[in-house]
Amino acid sequence: MSDIIQLLPDHVANQIAAGEVVQRPASVVKELLENAIDAGATSIKLLLKDAGKTLIQVIDDGKGMSSTDARLCFERHATSKIREAKDLFNIHTKGFRGEALASIAAIAHVELKTKQDNEELGTQIKIEGSTVVSQEATATTKGTSIAVKNLFYNIPARRNFLKSDTIETRHIVDEFQRVALAHPNIAFLLHHNNNEVYHLKESNLRQRIVAVFGGKMNERLVPIEEQTDIITITGFVAKPEYAKKKRGEQFFFVNDRFIKSSYLNHAVVNAFEGLLDNASHPSYFLYLDVPPNSIDINIHPTKTEIKFDNEKALYAILRATVKHSLGQYNVAPILDFDRDANLDTPYNYSKNDTPSVPPITVDPNFNPFKTDHNYESVSKISSKTTGSSSSNDFSQKSYQPNYKKEVGNWDALYTEIEDAEPVKQEQLFEAHQESETGKTFQIQKKYLLSSIKSGVVLIHQSLAHQRILYEEFLENITVKEASSQQLLFPVSISFSSSDIEMIYSIKSDLESAGFMFEEFTKESVVIGGIPTSITESQITLILEQLLDDIKMEVPDASFSHFDVMAKSFAKSLAIKTGTTLTIKEQENLVNNLFSCKEPSISPFGKPTFKTLSLQEIDAIFNK
Distance (Å) of CA 278 to CA 244, 274, 283, 393, 580: 10, 10, 15, 66, 19
- The CA distance from 108 to 95, in Å, is 20
Sign of CA dihedral 512, 568, 555, 553: positive
The residues, ordered by sequence, that sit 6+ positions from 182 with a Cβ below 8 Å of its Cβ are 253, 256, 257, 258
Q: What share of the chain is helix, strand, coil (3-state, %, to 5)?
A: 40, 20, 35
Residue 140, φ and ψ in degrees, nearest 5 = -150, 170
Count of CB atoms within 10 A of residue 455's CB?
A: 14
* DSSP letter string, 86-102: GGGGS--SS--SS-HHH
- Confidence grade of residue 83 (pLDDT, cut at 50, 70, 90): low
- Confidence grade of residue 257 (pLDDT, cut at 50, 70, 90): confident
User: Higher model confidence: residue 401 or residue 546?
Assistant: 546
pLDDT at 441 over 50: yes
Q: Per residue in 55-65, pLDDT tens?
A: 999 999 999 99
- What's residue 267's pLDDT? 92
- What's residue 329's pLDDT? 75
Distance (Å) of CA 256 to CA 40, 167, 304, 335, 583: 14, 26, 12, 39, 58
- The CA distance from 38 to 179, in Å, is 12
Average pLDDT, the chain: 79
- The CA distance from 75 to 65, in Å, is 15
The residues, ordered by sequence, that sit 6+ positions from 39 with a Cβ below 8 Å of its Cβ are 60, 62, 63, 64, 143, 144
- What's residue 101's pLDDT? 87
Q: Per residue in 336-364, pLDDT tens?
A: 455 555 555 555 555 556 667 778 888 88
Walk me through the domains of the chain, giving residue ranges and CATH numbers: 10-200 (3.30.565.10), 205-328 (3.30.230.10), 374-386+396-408 (no CATH), 444-610 (3.30.1370.100)
Angle, helices 497-505/539-551, rounded to nearest 10 degrees = 90
Above pLDDT 70, what percent of the chain? 77
**CA angle, 83 then 85 then 89, to 5°:** 105
CA-CA-CA-CA torsion for 344, 348, 350, 355, nearest 10 degrees? -40
- The CA distance from 490 to 519, in Å, is 10
pLDDT at 177 over 70: yes
- Best CA proximity match to 23, nearest among 104, 77, 93: 104
The residues, ordered by sequence, that sit 6+ positions from 133 with a Cβ below 8 Å of its Cβ are 126, 127
Instruction: Tell me the sheet residues that pair with 109.
Output: 128, 149
pLDDT at 493 over 50: yes
- What's residue 434's pLDDT? 39
- What's residue 209's pLDDT? 93
- The CA distance from 594 to 591, in Å, is 6
Greatest Cα-to-Cα distance within the chain, rounded to the nearest angstrom: 133
CA-CA-CA-CA torsion for 313, 314, 315, 321, nearest 10 degrees? 110
Sign of CA dihedral 531, 535, 536, 540: negative
* DSSP letter string, 332-370: S--S-TT--GGGSPPTT--TTPPPPPPP----TT--TT-
- What's residue 621's pLDDT? 87
pLDDT average, residue stretch 545-555:
68
pLDDT at 580 over 60: yes
- What's residue 111's pLDDT? 95
User: Higher model confidence: residue 618 or residue 483?
Assistant: 618
- Confidence grade of residue 109 (pLDDT, cut at 50, 70, 90): very high
Which of 29-43, 192-206, 504-518 comes out lowest in average pLDDT? 504-518
| pTM of the predicted protein model | 0.66
pLDDT average, residue stretch 158-164:
84
- Confidence grade of residue 406 (pLDDT, cut at 50, 70, 90): very low
pLDDT at 73 over 70: yes
CA 382 to chain centre: 59
User: Higher model confidence: residue 329 or residue 392?
Assistant: 329
Q: Per residue in 459-480, pLDDT tens?
A: 999 999 999 988 888 887 776 6
- Confidence grade of residue 393 (pLDDT, cut at 50, 70, 90): very low
- What's residue 81's pLDDT? 65
Residue 89, φ and ψ in degrees, nearest 5 = -105, 15
pLDDT at 436 over 60: no
pLDDT at 381 over 60: no
Count of CB atoms within 10 A of residue 366's CB?
A: 7
pLDDT at 317 over 90: yes
Amino acid at 447: Y
User: Higher model confidence: residue 89 or residue 147?
Assistant: 147
Helix segments in 118-215, DSSP class H = 156-160, 165-182, 205-213
- The CA distance from 31 to 26, in Å, is 9
User: Higher model confidence: residue 330 or residue 241?
Assistant: 241
- What's residue 351's pLDDT? 52
- What's residue 438's pLDDT? 52
- Confidence grade of residue 382 (pLDDT, cut at 50, 70, 90): very low
pLDDT at 420 over 60: no
